[in-house]
Amino acid sequence: MTALPTTEARGTEQATPAAPAKSRRKKVVVVALMVVLLAAAAWWFLRPKGPHEPEPGAIMPLDATQINLAGSHYLKIGLALQLTTDAEEVDGSKALDATIDLFSGKSLAQVSEPVQRRALKNRLTNELSEVYDGDVMGVYFTEFVTQ
């Protein structure tokens, strides 16, 4: 005949099955914590670093052109385009067309005064950036003669 286990023995038998359940939960918590930490580290190192600022590339000079101003005056203007490093070959005719559109019909005073000339240059730079889809980031006047 076998003896029945005492209450002490029964108490230890009941405690032993509960121990693996606790260690299993502990393992799940540790694994979940490791997954969260790995995901956070991956996000930190692979996140976008902010907006990509274009870097200056080649400067493309354009031939000078003459533009009719108001009052029988004219402007002879030469341009150089500051391209970005991402820029491919650009066609200068778009820049000359935008320049002619912007300066045509302006008065001699509007193109001669430095403050207004800088404003026109900034406007031309913005227009060319749009026309060339961001490939042009600056405009330089290489020739600027009025008569």
Question: Which one has a higher pLDDT value, 21 or 40?
Answer: 40
Output the six-digit token pair for 33.
């914590």
**Which one, of 123, 127, 128, lies nearest residue 110 by Cα?**
123
Average the pLDDT over each of 5-14, 16-25, 126-135 and give the range with the smallest value.
5-14
Per-residue pLDDT tens over the stretch 95-116: 999 999 999 999 999 999 999 9
Average pLDDT of span 68-96: 91
Cα separation, 139 vs 82, in Å, equals 6
Judged by DSSP in three states, 2 sits in: coil
Q: Where are the alpha helices (DSSP H) in the chain?
A: 7-46, 92-103, 108-112, 114-131
Per-residue pLDDT tens over the stretch 38-49: 998 888 888 777
| pTM for this model (two decimals) | 0.63
Question: Taking the CA atoms of the chain, what radius of gyration do you get in angstroms?
Answer: 37
Question: Which one has a higher pLDDT value, 87 or 146?
Answer: 146
**Which one, of 34, 41, 110, lies nearest residue 69 by Cα?**
110
Judged by DSSP in three states, 5 sits in: coil
- Express as a percent the part of the chain with pLDDT over 90: 56
Instruction: Return the pLDDT at 41.
Output: 87
Instruction: Return the pLDDT at 10.
Output: 54
Cα separation, 59 vs 2, in Å, equals 99
